[in-house]
Structure 1
Amino acid sequence: VLPVAIAALPAGRKMAAVAGPEAEEPGGSFRRYLARLGALRPQPGAERPDDDDDGGGRRRTELHLLFDQLISESCGPAPADVCAVLVQACQLVHLDQEHLVSKVCQLIHHLLNRFQVMVDEQNLNFLLSYCISALKQCSSWTHVEILQALAALVYNNGPKCQKYLPDLLGETGLLVQLSGSAQPDVELRRAAVRGMANLCLGVPGQPYLDESYRSVCFQTFLSVLQSSKASDVDDITFCMLLQNALKGIQSLLNGGKMKLTQTDQIGSLLAVLKKCMFHGLPGLSIEMPAALYPAPLPQYDKRSPVKQEQSEPAAFKPTGNRRKKSKGKQKKGEFGEEGREHLGDAGDGSVLGADMLKLRLGDAQNSPCSDPRPRASDVARVSAGKDHFSSHCTGWKRISSSESEYSDAEGGIQSKTRSYQANVRQGALACFLSAIKSMEKRVLYGYWSAFVPDAPGIGSPQSVSLMTIALKDPSPKTRACALQVLSAILEGSKQFLSVAEDANDHKRAFTPFSVTIASSIRELHRCLLLALVAESSSQTLTQIVKCLANLVSNAPYGRLKPGLLTRVWNQIKPYISHKDVNVRVSSLTLLGAIVSVQAPLPEVQLLLQQPSSSGQNSSGSATPHRLNSEQWRKALPSEGEPPDHPAGCTTSEPCWLLRLCVSIVVLPREDSCSDSDANFPAFSSVYEPCPLRLESLQVLALLVKGYFSMAQSYFLELGEVACRCMEEMDPSIQLHGAKLLEELGTGVLQQYKPESAVAPDQRVPVSVVVTFWTVMLNGPLPGILQNSPHATLQTSACDALSSILPEAFSSLQNDQQILCVTLLLGLNHSENPLVKAAAARALGVYILFSCLRQDVMFVADTANAILSSLHDKSPNVRAKAAWSLGNLTDTLIINMETMGQSFQEEFSDLLLLKMLRSATEASKDRDKVKSNAVRALGNVLHFLQPCHIANPRFREAIEESLQALISTVGSEATMKVRWNACYALGNVFKNPALPLGEAPWTTQAYSALSSVVKSCKNFKVRIKSAMALSIPSKRECYGSTEQFGQIWSALVVALQKSEDTEDFLEFKYSASLRTQICQALLHLLRLAKGTDLPVVWQTVTEKGDTIKSYLLQYLKSGVEENETGTHTDSCDRERVLKEALEHLSGVEKELEGKARVRVSGFLGDVLTNHTNSSKFP
């Protein structure tokens, strides 16, 4: 935003600006000025007054006075009046009247800036033409004022200035020349750069600068930033020049959506940004190369020995101004410097009763609240050998934010200079933030070492990085900016950081990249924790904690030595009770990141099991006091387990984090604990501020999700928390209560999955789950589902209802089961697509419940509801409905296999036909719908009975559905769609009522599967197609001899190509693919007729050695689970081979000639080789 002009006026003019005419209608004074300007216009036909005569002199003097009055005007005029005055003024001032030209340009600059006027296009054209002509004709001493006027005119008007760009930004453009490195006048250069930067501002919805102009501007700004300060240039002017160039680059990156792709361009920009990031930083002087290059190690960090000596020995010691004591009242919500010197203890009551077994969520009594401060041991909690902070902690105190803002009156020119230098550093960091968003992360991480700290080598100084600013910059705002940039770098860095590893200590001749990255991660932890305890500004403190949360979310702790998370955990605890709500919220976010990262981590498991009373109280007694649940705030969180108290051995008290979050959510606030809640007045009277409660609920949900085995001890209590939240009026609290409920339900579901590793006696008992859901269904959940006006809340409540354990659902009372089903069927007709999608998905879950799927009426009702949603206009609703339709048709198959013909006869033919047609139509939808639609088609076609197939009404629908499946198998759809289509065709082949081998579609189906098994790039799709080809149980199903031969040949080719892949990730599936193809080949041989053997023999003759080697591999491989989930071992495989051999021997005996023993002989050789190798390995 352009600066307000009145601040730059002399004192007299300021007074005039303030003491202007009062009680006058808006814009009235400007219209008077306009009239006076009109009076000075020469009459038509009159000659222009000569400046040398008296008339010309009086006119000139009057114009000067009039312009001065306009400059001092304070009444807010209408934009049209301002434009009219400026145009009139320019018309009155000829370009040879240079003093007046200078004055009228000042007028343009001041009026546009002060009143924030946007000039319309017609007036803009006139005023721009005037300024450009003035630049060309007037003396150089006027150029600064002219350029300032030009900058004000083009501000946010770039798209309207297209026709003037050649004059301004062309090869010989005025701004290009005046901003070039050859320009000796720095003020002039600064004004030109500012005008250029304003031209680069983007306007949403409007065209941006052409690429050629963007490139010119970028190079100009880069050149300015690369330039050094001349000795005759004052620091403030140079700082303003750098600021304008940085704003220009930021505008190019933001408004122009400029993408940084060229290495030299990126390297040059990052080099100057790093240089400017440290501009004027006390105690630091660095030289930077012209460009940075992608490299895994620090490239260049040259500091003079004197400066290095000053900044390194006390790497975390501030310069002189940082040692000033805070004057005046300490800022509310900040840890003051005295608080840092006297790191307090909570005293008595800082322990928790060991025999408190469960959370008590009763009404709390208001009690005075202690304010836990960081303990000295907490402050010193950093890695040994690297951190000597505890002995210097009082020397690392920061000035308050108010002391970092300087003025001439307080500190003179030196303080003003430091303020401008800080602005440059902030501008560079803001520009860097835009640059990060303008380049690919994989490119950015090539420059990781230039901006992220690494542990210093022996005898070498630590390289300067963003953490240098975060730790040493005197300005809290600059420190916060550096942390924002570091957060942006860390965001999305999980894949890059995943290579880090330092778990083993093997000595190496070189340092692997993985160890380098691990070292950098450790150093980041160390530096951020140092910044945490040293920071006094609440705003910056919030950024530190957010940055730590980003680091925790992306670091691969499973590959690093344990201990990092423990240090973060212990040092963040005191900040949960910080005076500033934002610090408290971000602290909870960090704890949430810890409990969600790669959960469950053993280190975090131990941290969660630490009893809060593990530390001793002030009396030295280790005996814990008993506290009720409302007194959690008085208990200072422990900093760790003592060695003689192993973690997890005490189960008599709840997880402190769980207790903390529950207390924040459900207990009334205590006023002395939080005094910065002005932004949350609606909640300040009863509960903690809403953001704090929401964050606590999110942490609870993450804790339940990642560490359910620990949270399940408080299963019913957490359910009560969710209930109480859903009973509140605030929809955001209700929403997160519903999300917590869903996580609780999902945690139980995971325990009861067939593949779950949780022992049955360690699971939440079904009776407890039934009690839990009975409470939920008698509570606020049904009301939310029926009456809530908030769609997101209803959606989340619907998801929660779908997380009920099937075994528990069947034990619910009948009326509660009916309630659940009725609610979901009703919500399936919601007008909101989010709610409708959630309801459709929930019905797809319920249809699999054993107690519901055998109810023909429920299945029919669900089918009709799902089919209705399958035609919804929302793609998301259709996708969820297709998934549910797939589940519904799975249920049809299960019922067919368990209940027999009775269920098939009872199920409506009309509804079955409707399902077939709807699924066929859905198979032509987008991929997310199609993948489940084809699954449903395969199931329905498998379910059809002879009466359906003979029914003329079904005939056309069956043909269309089969064609849809076949075309999907051979299409270019996603892997999931084609995989499901192959699976569906395999299901079709299981239906003996279909004319497989006789109908024309049979050839098409086998041809599509044969093509896929040979050439599909995705091996999982190939596996599924090979499986489908091995499903028909009779030789007749494979059709003619020619078709059988084609299938056989395709499988042999697929076996040969089973190791050919362009994608290395597919290679891991090649063994499974060969296993499936070998099973298919042996299956075909078990069914082969005599007429099939010539084709088989031909391939054996040509490729016998290849087939033999793969068959031997297949027979030797150990127990394997195939795609159907069944296990096959070597005995089963050998048995199948013997069956094929026996069948072929029988077939060949019926034949005459040489073909009689050939194929069986080949299989006999395979079996003999396998038997011999088993005996003599």
Structure 2
Amino acid sequence: MSSSEDIFSNLSSKFSQLSYGRTKGDISHINCILDEINNLDYRYPLVTNKTKAVLLIHQCCTIIPHDELHLVHKCCRLITNLVIHQHVEIEGQTLSLVTHWCLLGIKHAPSTNTEILTVLKALLTCNDKNSQYLLPLIICNNSPVLAVANGSCLETALVGVQCLEMCTVGDNLKILNVKSELELASTVFLRYLMQEPNVDNLLYNKVLISSLRGLQNVITLHPEFLKKELGLILGVTKSFMVYNIKGIHFQVPQKIVPSILNIPGTPLSVPKEKKGGKIAKQRKPRMSNKKEIKKRVDDDEDTYFPSASDPEDGSASSRMYDGFKTSDSDFSDNEYGRIAKVGTTQDKVRQAALHLLLQIVKMTDKATIFCYWSSFISDDMLMNTNNLSTCILKDPSPKGRMAALHVLLSLITRSKLYLVQAESSKKYTAYTPFSVILGAMVTDLHKCLRLALNENYVTVLLQVFKCLAALVQASPYHRLMPGIIQKIIRNVKIYITHRDAAVQVAALIVLECVLCSEPIVPETKLALLRHRDTNKILRDDKKDRLINNDEPLQDDIEFVDFSSDDEDTNSITSQEMPWLLERCLNNLGVQVAGSTVSSPVKVQSLRVISAMTRNYFDCLIVPFLNEIAKILDLCLNDNYMDLRLHAGRTIDFIGQSLNKHLGVEDDNKCVTPEQGHSFWQILINNSLTALLQSEHHSVLRAVGCDCLASIGPYIFEHFSRDKQILIITLLFPCSHDDDNNVRAATVRALAISVLYPSLRDDPGFVVDVALVIQRMLQDNSLVVRIKASWSLGNLSDALVLNKEDSAKEEIPNHILLQLLQIAIHVSKDSDKIKVNAIRALGNLLQLVNDEMIKQDEFKVAVNEGVSAVIKCCMTGTNMKLRWNSCYAVGKALKLAKFPINDYIQKDSLFSSLTDLILSFPNFKVRINAALALSCINTREGYHNYFAFVWEALLKALENTQNIEDFSEYNHQDHLVDQVCLTLGHLTTLIKPDDFALIKNCTYLYLDLLQQQMRKVLDRLLPEKSSVLLSAATHLRNVSIENYRSEERQLCLDLLKVYTND
């Protein structure tokens, strides 16, 4: 018996030999062969030779005329089967032939339009490249496809619209100029979308789905069309995203105008509706309804992929019958199947609208889309129902709710910059500020997402948590009504013990965002700690409900259950562990409630503990340092590498916070060095040492170095000498590690350690660190060199501190010379390295003394160093580099007897600094340039440039009032202060001969100088403005009796400036 492949091959050969002679015999013969070919089972492979199949299609379109309708029908069926099921690709001349045959067939044989359009749809679906050729033929002014798509026969129009949709698919169309064709297609799509729909018509719903998807394709390929029709397309998405949601009246799409005001709609109570994700206050639903929901989820499409046939056309949906069948049914089984299919298509209409909206949000700039927020984000869910909150809470399809949450997440993340303006207000005025409207929207979003936490589908629930985390990050709680963040914590906390590990992680992420929210609000701390007064809790809860108008919603949708932790009636001791910390530590233990905790939950628990160190270190971390240390020690011994990594990072965070709090000059510190010492002792005695010796995980060794770097001077000095030696001994070998990140972390840790008093006193250690830094600065890795340049700055700070203390041993001359030379060398590296190298260079130049400068090598190094500093002042776009360059110049010129002053090229120095102070856009750079000009302590140091510098400072004082970038406004007063202080410094060095040089420019700016100096004297503390008092004293003591009256008068006028007379 011949195989199907052989049968197909033989029939194809027979058909290829036919010719059409318009006789009944010819027609009968063609019809017979076509029947035989079409009767084959195309679900299984039949075509072994694709070329032969293409020739068969070519022959069909050549010999079959359009007036033989039954042959046309069978020919279309054959082509569709070959293209879709046998994956035969039609290209070149055959594609052209088939396309023109189809287009002529639509014109001359209207009764076969559905079959012919299905062929075109198959050609477009199975090969994206075909759209480049077919698009201009199908979408043009006289196109028969457009005529059919606009026709009255809905079944044929559906396939026509689907063809138009498929024509607009494909990134390859971006290279073509098809804007006019795309706009022509959009008119068809919008025609269906801009009229009152027939919601119960299956075919019409499919037309809407294709129209929405096609419109999404159009705006993706034609962004200019989106900009031109943004309001109209947004209006379409707004109407169809709530399409046939129970209780929501459909509104015909209208163009939306950008506005910051929200027009309230008609109050509408939310109907009680059974659906996945909400707990309605009604009896338990029957199992049949659960099956209906499950079936709809299974059949629903999550994302849009062009396909040859719609899945709902198959017989799978008929299984819905089992979920509805009852003995008393008044409807037929077919009727139930039809209702189920209609419900599925309605779901897909909403999803298509939401996908379109998501694409619009992604393609539109943040500022523009924010102007449409009030059209999609409600400021009162009870008053306005055509918004995303309705989709999230009431869409019966989980995938619809998921799509709405995707849109909301994109809107929130793209609008964080604007949401900081939100605020709540109890005042009622005729004009409502934008910030208050925005505050109402933010408050309503919190309410919506809290309600959405009732979701039963885990995937949707996870998306709710993502939105909630983004909203918490973006919300300015200090400007909103109290109670919002407290309710978020209450609603989320019950999920940290959820049976699904992914939900636990998502809930912990939200709480991590709450912990990091700034500025902090008191209610957060209260919510994170267990309450002691139950009556107070009840009072607060009642007050919060009244403030936030939550009570009416209780009639419609039930809130998520609150945790019972807030209602403890027993008194709680001051040292009882807060619930969140307790849960995190339990997660990090071996087992919880007899089951092993998943690794992602453990990792996120560590991230939450790390977040606690940011704003709640005193109340959540300090009282339980020992318990935390023991758990971290346990984590560092775990087999899971990521857990050890995050445990190391948590140790680093805690160490930094310990240093920060121990460094505060306050008698009532929240933590003592002894507590910190105990914390570190537990870790160093056990697992932390092993972390640095992890052979197979370089990232763990790098984190181990970071941990040791965060010990800090206050705790390090409490360690015994052998422990101190152990810590340092662990670090030095890591400087030779093969991994770049480990070497970078090591050099940073050593540079931090060199500032510890006990280690700074050890000349051997200082030299060893200097040699390591010198070697690292020549490393091939940019990451290592960046850290090494920063470390060189730290080392130079330590060397300057040692120089100021005569009891300390200074670094050997040859080491200092090497450091100078390497600093000059790396100052020519990338900006990221220059930034710190220049700062170090300024410190190192201070260390050069009279004896050293006599040596030729030091003389060359000093000249090159000064040139490098001045060059960095004037070049580059990195603001920090300019800032540090000015800082370095100031350091180098700081000492009056500093020999470097004899080697500075004064013209380049003063011209560079005055250019910066006069016109540089960044005010912080100007401030440091002015500061550098005040670092020369002798009149001779300014040489002939005294008047030049004086005049430049007066002009700079005038220029401080010109602000091009508003962000510099915060630094304006500081700049004025520094310019005046520098003028005061110059005045303390002024000599009688200088009055004649500065007379003209001083009188030109005298009023401005007097006005600004008065403000500075009023603004600055006496200890900071002492140089101005010294200037006044110097002017009183200047001997000018033998000079002209103009110069004597100038002296008196300047004295009035500094005495505020």
Shorter chain as denominator, the TM-score bin is 0.7 to 0.9
Please tell me whether the aligned partners of residues 501 and 560 of structure 1 are also in contact (alpha carbons under 8 angstroms): yes
1:723 aligned to which of 624, 627, 633: 633
Match of 2:325 in 1: none
Distance 1:943 1:554, change over 3 A: same
1:588 aligned to which of 496, 508, 529: 508
- Written as runs of structure 1 = structure 2, the 5 A alignment for 1:596-745 is 596-598=516-518, 600-611=520-531, 637-638=563-564, 640=566, 650-670=573-593, 687-710=596-619, 711-745=621-655
Distance in 1 between residues matched to 2:143 and 2:773, nearest whole Å: 66
Match of 2:441 in 1: 520
Match of 1:131 in 2: 98
- Written as runs of structure 1 = structure 2, the 5 A alignment for 1:736-755 is 736-754=646-664
Distance 1:77 1:924, change over 3 A: farther
What's the offset of the Cα at 1:56? Answer: 5.0
Distance 1:1067 1:34, change over 3 A: same
Q: Which amino acid aligns with 1:780?
A: S
1:402 aligned to which of 289, 294, 297: 294
What's the offset of the Cα at 1:896? Answer: 1.5
Distance 1:1089 1:573, change over 3 A: closer
Query: Is 2:25 the partner of 1:58?
Result: no
Q: Which amino acid aligns with 2:166?
A: N
Query: Is 2:996 the partner of 1:1094?
Result: yes
Distance 1:29 1:722, change over 3 A: farther
Distance in 1 between residues matched to 2:575 and 2:1001, nearest whole Å: 72
Give deviations 1:390-425, integer Å, cap 9, x for gaps.
Answer: x77989999574154583452221221011110111
Please tell me whether the aligned partners of residues 267 and 293 of structure 1 are also in contact (alpha carbons under 8 angstroms): yes
Distance in 2 between residues matched to 1:213 and 1:968, nearest whole Å: 54
Match of 1:379 in 2: none
Match of 2:43 in 1: 74
Match of 1:7 in 2: none
Secondary structure of the 1:1099 match is helix
Match of 1:1162 in 2: 1053
Distance in 2 between residues matched to 1:820 and 1:790, nearest whole Å: 20
Match of 2:417 in 1: 495
Secondary structure of the 1:973 match is coil
Match of 1:530 in 2: 451
Distance in 2 between residues matched to 1:1081 and 1:1045, nearest whole Å: 11
Query: Is 2:470 the partner of 1:539?
Result: no
Match of 2:753 in 1: 846
Q: Which amino acid aligns with 2:378?
A: P
What's the offset of the Cα at 1:653? Answer: 1.8
Distance 1:53 1:404, change over 3 A: closer
What's the offset of the Cα at 1:718? Answer: 0.9
Q: Which amino acid aligns with 1:489?
A: L
Query: Is 2:204 the partner of 1:294?
Result: no
Distance in 2 between residues matched to 1:268 and 1:835, nearest whole Å: 56
State TM-score, norm by structure 1.
0.78
What's the offset of the Cα at 1:285? Answer: 1.8
Distance 1:488 1:1032, change over 3 A: same
Query: Is 2:860 the partner of 1:951?
Result: no
Q: Which amino acid aligns with 1:1136?
A: S
Secondary structure of the 1:1072 match is helix
1:452 aligned to which of 370, 377, 397: 377
Give deviations 1:455-499, integer Å, cap 9, x for gaps.
Answer: 26xxx8334211112222222221222223222222243322211
Query: Is 2:1031 the partner of 1:1106?
Result: no
Match of 2:272 in 1: 317
What's the offset of the Cα at 1:818? Answer: 3.6
Distance 1:553 1:1070, change over 3 A: closer
Please tell me whether the aligned partners of residues 5 and 45 of structure 2 are also in contact (alpha carbons under 8 angstroms): no
What's the offset of the Cα at 1:95? Answer: 6.0
Query: Is 2:955 the partner of 1:1033?
Result: no
Distance in 2 between residues matched to 1:1033 and 1:1139, nearest whole Å: 17
Query: Is 2:760 the partner of 1:789?
Result: no
Distance 1:611 1:1102, change over 3 A: closer
Query: Is 2:826 the partner of 1:922?
Result: yes
Distance in 1 between residues matched to 2:184 and 2:732, nearest whole Å: 61
2:496 aligned to which of 576, 583, 587: 576
What's the offset of the Cα at 1:506? Answer: 3.3
What's the offset of the Cα at 1:126? Answer: 4.1
Distance in 2 between residues matched to 1:396 and 1:499, nearest whole Å: 47
- Structure 2 residues not aligned, in runs of 5+: 300-316, 322-335, 537-560
2:202 aligned to which of 231, 236, 251: 236
Match of 2:812 in 1: 907
State TM-score, norm by structure 2.
0.86
Secondary structure of the 1:842 match is helix
Please tell me whether the aligned partners of residues 196 and 217 of structure 1 are also in contact (alpha carbons under 8 angstroms): no
Please tell me whether the aligned partners of residues 270 and 292 of structure 1 are also in contact (alpha carbons under 8 angstroms): yes
Query: Is 2:1044 the partner of 1:1153?
Result: yes
Please tell me whether the aligned partners of residues 37 and 89 of structure 1 are also in contact (alpha carbons under 8 angstroms): no
Give deviations 1:862-886, integer Å, cap 9, x for gaps.
Answer: 3333334334454443332222221
Please tell me whether the aligned partners of residues 183 and 189 of structure 1 are also in contact (alpha carbons under 8 angstroms): yes
Give deviations 1:75-127, integer Å, cap 9, x for gaps.
Answer: 3578x745652443333442644455544444444454446x484xxx43344
Please tell me whether the aligned partners of residues 723 and 776 of structure 1 are also in contact (alpha carbons under 8 angstroms): yes
Distance 1:59 1:131, change over 3 A: closer
Give deviations 1:1037-1081, integer Å, cap 9, x for gaps.
Answer: 1122xx111111100111122211112232232222222111111
Please tell me whether the aligned partners of residues 841 and 881 of structure 1 are also in contact (alpha carbons under 8 angstroms): yes
Match of 2:486 in 1: 566
- Written as runs of structure 1 = structure 2, the 5 A alignment for 1:367-516 is 401-402=293-294, 404=296, 407-409=317-319, 410=321, 411-455=336-380, 461-502=383-424, 505-516=426-437
Give deviations 1:660-694, integer Å, cap 9, x for gaps.
Answer: 111122131446xxxxxxxxxxxxxx622222222
What's the offset of the Cα at 1:161? Answer: 5.0
Please tell me whether the aligned partners of residues 404 and 474 of structure 1 are also in contact (alpha carbons under 8 angstroms): no
Please tell me whether the aligned partners of residues 123 and 130 of structure 2 are also in contact (alpha carbons under 8 angstroms): no
Match of 2:313 in 1: none
Match of 1:1009 in 2: 913
What's the offset of the Cα at 1:708? Answer: 0.7
What's the offset of the Cα at 1:220? Answer: 4.4
More off after superposition, 1089-1098 vs 715-724: 1089-1098
Match of 2:13 in 1: 38
Distance in 2 between residues matched to 1:265 and 1:452, nearest whole Å: 21
Distance 1:1164 1:89, change over 3 A: closer
Distance in 2 between residues matched to 1:1039 and 1:856, nearest whole Å: 40
Distance in 2 between residues matched to 1:542 and 1:509, nearest whole Å: 41
Distance in 2 between residues matched to 1:1016 and 1:1084, nearest whole Å: 22
What's the offset of the Cα at 1:170? Answer: 5.3
Secondary structure of the 1:1039 match is helix
Q: Which amino acid aligns with 1:728?
A: D
What's the offset of the Cα at 1:988? Answer: 1.4
Secondary structure of the 1:402 match is helix
- Structure 1 residues not aligned, in runs of 5+: 1-20, 324-333, 341-388, 617-634, 672-685, 1121-1126, 1171-1177
Match of 2:308 in 1: none
- Identity score, percent: 28
Please tell me whether the aligned partners of residues 159 and 203 of structure 1 are also in contact (alpha carbons under 8 angstroms): no
Secondary structure of the 2:371 match is helix
Distance in 1 between residues matched to 2:639 and 2:348, nearest whole Å: 45
Distance in 2 between residues matched to 1:222 and 1:573, nearest whole Å: 46
Distance 1:591 1:173, change over 3 A: same
Match of 1:374 in 2: none
Distance in 2 between residues matched to 1:221 and 1:981, nearest whole Å: 64
What's the offset of the Cα at 1:826? Answer: 3.5
Match of 1:675 in 2: none
Query: Is 2:672 the partner of 1:765?
Result: yes
Match of 2:969 in 1: 1067
2:162 aligned to which of 194, 205, 221: 194
Secondary structure of the 2:717 match is helix
Please tell me whether the aligned partners of residues 452 and 467 of structure 1 are also in contact (alpha carbons under 8 angstroms): yes
